[in-house]
Amino acid sequence: MNELIIYSILLIALLAHLGMAMALYVKINRSKALSFHEKNKWRLKALLFPAYYWFVFKDLNG
Do 14 and 43 form a contact (C-beta atoms < 8 A)?
no
- Which residue would you say has higher pLDDT here, 31 or 6? 6
User: Is the CA virtual torsion 40, 43, 45, 48 positive or negative?
Assistant: negative
**What is the C-alpha separation between 35 and 20, in angstroms, rounded?**
22
Model confidence, pTM: 0.74
Domain limits, the chain: 2-61
pLDDT in tens, 19-45: 988 988 898 889 888 899 999 998 888
Do 46 and 28 form a contact (C-beta atoms < 8 A)?
yes
pLDDT at 31: 87
